[in-house]
């Protein structure tokens, strides 16, 4: 796959995302590319994955649900949380619409909202880039995560902050926390 000629993907995204989500996608792509370079991974492949990670985000609810019905291995609570539906649906779309066969790219898209216990560095980079891109994310949120990235074991430290933020925000809004999130948080505590 040629990760340097992305015009057709960008045009598709422009037509299927709103303006802010498209800017967020460009921001995630740029941030993922920078992080990939920092951690010795293919920056063009990370750019591409960051670019398309939210491809299903602006699909109408009914269309998302129709794609979701074809997803296997949904997590407990995932069906009840519509905000997460675009991740498994996005992985299916990436495969069918963009002919992506790279399993690590598909998995990074699949798990970019909830995360999972065993994530590769590439998957961690996409997960984190989604949270800290500087085109739409506020700097008061992103700065502590960026600082953690500059430390030793930075990817895990940055991930831990992301999970702390998620858990705090769920608690503040009286929302349920799925067991997977708690398990990942506990595991990250042991890893940093
Ligand atoms: Fe997303
Ligand atoms: Fe995103």
| 121-132 vs 19-38: helix crossing angle, rounded to 10 | 140
How far does residue 54's CA lie from ligand 2's centre (Å)? 5
* Domains of the chain (ranges, CATH numbers): 7-191 (1.10.3210.10)
Question: Rounded to two decimals, what is the model's pTM?
Answer: 0.96
How far does residue 109's CA lie from ligand 2's centre (Å)? 9
One digit per residue, the tens of pLDDT, for the chain of length 192 reads 889 899 999 999 999 999 999 999 999 999 999 999 999 999 999 999 999 999 999 999 889 988 988 887 787 777 778 888 999 999 999 999 999 999 999 999 999 999 999 999 999 999 999 999 999 999 999 999 999 999 999 999 999 999 999 999 999 999 888 888 999 999 999 999
């Amino acid at each position: 796959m040629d990760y340097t000629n992305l015009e057709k993907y960008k045009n598709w995204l422009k037509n299927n995302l709103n303006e802010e989500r498209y800017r967020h996608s460009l921001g995630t792509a740029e941030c993922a590319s920078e992080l990939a370079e920092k951690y010795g991974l293919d920056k063009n492949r990370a750019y591409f994955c960051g670019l398309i990670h939210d491809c299903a985000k602006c699909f109408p609810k009914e269309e998302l649900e129709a794609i979701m019905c074809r997803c296997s291995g949904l997590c407990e609570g995932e069906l009840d949380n519509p905000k997460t539906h675009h991740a498994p649906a996005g992985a299916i779309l990436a495969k069918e619409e963009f002919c992506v066969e790279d399993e690590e790219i598909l998995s990074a898209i699949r798990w970019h909202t909830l995360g999972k216990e065993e994530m590769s560095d590439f998957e961690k980079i996409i997960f984190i880039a989604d949270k800290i891109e500087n085109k739409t994310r506020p700097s008061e949120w992103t700065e502590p995560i960026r600082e953690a990235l500059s430390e030793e074991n930075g990817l895990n430290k940055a991930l831990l902050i992301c999970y702390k933020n998620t858990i705090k925000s769920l608690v503040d809004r009286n929302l349920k926390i799925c067991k997977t999130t708690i398990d990942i948080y506990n595991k990250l505590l042991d890893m940093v």
